Amino acid sequence: MRNSKSPLVLVDFDGTITQNDVGARLFDAFSKKESQKFVSLWLKGEINSKVCLERLCDLIKITKSELKKFALSQKIDEKFLDFVDLCKRERLRLVILSDGLDFYIKLIFKKFGLEKLPFYSNILRFEGDKLKPEFPYFDRGCGNCGNCKKYHLKNLKSENQKTVYIGDGLSDKCVVRESDIVFAKNDLRKFCLKEDIKHYPFSDFGDVIQTFDDLILNQK
Residue 15 lies in a domain: yes
Residue 2 lies in a domain: no
- CATH code for the domain of 191: 3.40.50.1000
Residue 98 lies in a domain: yes
List all residues 6 or more positions away from 93 whose beta carbon is below 8 Å from its beta carbon: 2, 3, 6, 8, 9, 87, 156
Residue 1 lies in a domain: no
What is the DSSP code string of 193-210? HHTT---EE-SSHHHHHH
Residue 67 lies in a domain: yes
- The domain tally of the chain equals 1
Residue 79 lies in a domain: yes
Residue 45 lies in a domain: yes
CB atoms near residue 38 (< 10 Å): 21
Residue ranges in the chain whose pLDDT is less than 70: 1-4, 217-220
**What residues make up the domain containing 148?**
8-219
Question: Would strands 119-127 and 181-184 be described as parallel, antiparallel, or unpaired?
Answer: unpaired
- Cβ atoms of 115 and 105 within 8 Å: the answer is no
Q: What is the pLDDT of residues 77-98, one digit of tens each?
A: 999 999 999 999 999 999 999 9
Residue type, 108: I
CB atoms near residue 143 (< 10 Å): 9
Task: Give me the pLDDT at residue 4, please.
Answer: 55
Task: Give me the pLDDT at residue 3, please.
Answer: 46
Residue 195 lies in a domain: yes
